Structure 1
């Protein structure tokens, strides 16, 4: 967890950011700085990326123990599914912000949504790393998939370190159905969609945002919109917190 507090933060919601797969909080550095300048407390949840239900429960516990007062939840990619499942467990969550994110309905999986625009070629996308004691595998992005679909559009000095530090997600997390009581059905939400996103098709992002009734912002960036367009992303979060 990484948290920063400014003298004005007590009057504003806490911004809890939930990263997705194959990354950590690093792509949010510029967004963090902009939010903190505006007086927000920014806290990052270390998403386990192990199982959708367990990750959701972990975020619920985190919100209860590590926040006080109003909260705005921000989820990137897989993190969108986690915030949608956890938000209603904490009555202080006032809004959701989805960044190039999956927004599942009950019973849908990440793989279901990823495949709406066409079949997912797992062999081309993933390098598998089985781990002992479980019938599951960690999935890493191949170099080609990472460069072409995850960090496309970013300068090399930002993109290269992210590949070396990518955090895997389990196959089980991507194939686990979302639970009932998804928060986007009752809480106000905002969605930032990347027109150049090669990880989640823009058509799928727009469909999910419309289904959720989210206030939509489109940016000319790839999957890591928070790194490519930090000013726009920070502005959306600030509006959600108003």
Structure 2
């Protein structure tokens, strides 16, 4: 019997083999995204599913079905599996949206047949089996990295770094609340590599945070360009989904084929 990781790799390889794989696969090259009414969100490190509340409220007001995955932050295979379970419950085309580390999950889970488009918000966007840490080291290290605190196998972002480098453009009271509810992650999570790269086969969208102190903005631009994503630049911290929800919502609506 296959274990979950073997199944995930086999599933990803099978789907990838059935699709046209090209370095130049772009949203524009594939035409308009399939019209979708479902949006599934994946959060990253130093957060929980509620971080998408501002965007979810705006999508619900437009009549869309929006669900936020509670990412376990334990290992990449477990995080991908949690997203796949939510995707399987959707009743049609679904836009999959990831923030920060959530982009690792979107990249692999986005191969699910229900996913019609991908949206990355200041997110990691690796290629299949790529060492993201090695890629990130080719750019200057962002300030937030120094604020990560470990207690044995668990890690989180310290308060000073959270307020200054993670959500520096948020009201201080709001940032402190978000700091208080962040979910610790396991070290094992950081070692994972995406078994497939859905952005090579599906329309992709990227929101670059130009004032980001958690993921280097130039690294974000590189990943967006490499995937041929429809890209916007938002003058925001790493938490653009909270400080600039209108812009992020607009990009997601474009990915659903319901912009305008």
TM-score relative to the length of structure 2? 0.81
Matched, 1:126 2:148: yes
Contact 1:189 1:215 in 2 (8 A): yes
Aligned to 1:140, which of 150, 156, 169? 156
Match of 1:23 in 2: 47
Matched, 1:108 2:110: no
User: Aligned partners of 2:76, 2:232: CA distance in 1, in Å?
Assistant: 26
Give per-residue Cα distances to partners, 1:198-237, cap 9 Å, x unaligned.
Answer: 0001000000000111000000000011111111100000
Q: Specify the alignment match of 1:70 in structure 2.
A: 93
Relative distance call for 1:151 and 1:239 in structure 2 (3 A) is same
Q: Secondary structure of 2:154's partner?
A: strand
Equivalent in the alignment of 2:243: 228
Q: Give 5+ residue unaligned stretches, structure 1.
A: 1-10, 131-136
User: CA 1:63–1:182 in structure 2 vs 1: closer, same or farther (change >3 Å)?
Assistant: same
Relative contact order (C-alpha < 8 Å, sep 6+): which is higher?
2
Work out whether 1:178 is the aligned partner of 2:194. Answer: yes
Deviation at 1:173, TM superposition (A): 1.1
RMSD, matched Cα: 1.8
* Contact 2:94–2:115 (8 Å) recurs in 1: yes
Which residue number in structure 1 is paired with residue 29 of structure 2?
none
Equivalent in 91, 96, 102 of residue 79 of structure 1: 102
Shift of 1:121: 8.2
Per the normalisation by structure 1, the TM-score is: 0.86
Q: How far, CA to CA, are the matches of 1:139 and 1:152 in structure 2?
A: 20
Deviation per residue, 1:132-186 (Å, 9 max, x gap)? xxxxx1111122221222111111121010111111222221122222x210000
In 1, Cα distance between the equivalents of 2:118 and 2:215? 19
The 3-state SS of whatever aligns with 2:126 is coil
Mapped partners of 2:237, 2:145: distance in 1: 22
Name which of structure 1's ranges 111-120 and 206-215 shifts more when overlaid on structure 2. 111-120
Q: 1:30 to 1:106 in 2, by over 3 A?
A: same
User: After the TM superposition, which of the residue ranges 22-31 and 150-159 deviates more from structure 2?
Assistant: 22-31
- Per the alignment, residue 64 of structure 2 pairs with 40
* 2:143/2:213 contact within 8 Å kept: no
Larger CA deviation: 23-32 vs 38-47? 23-32
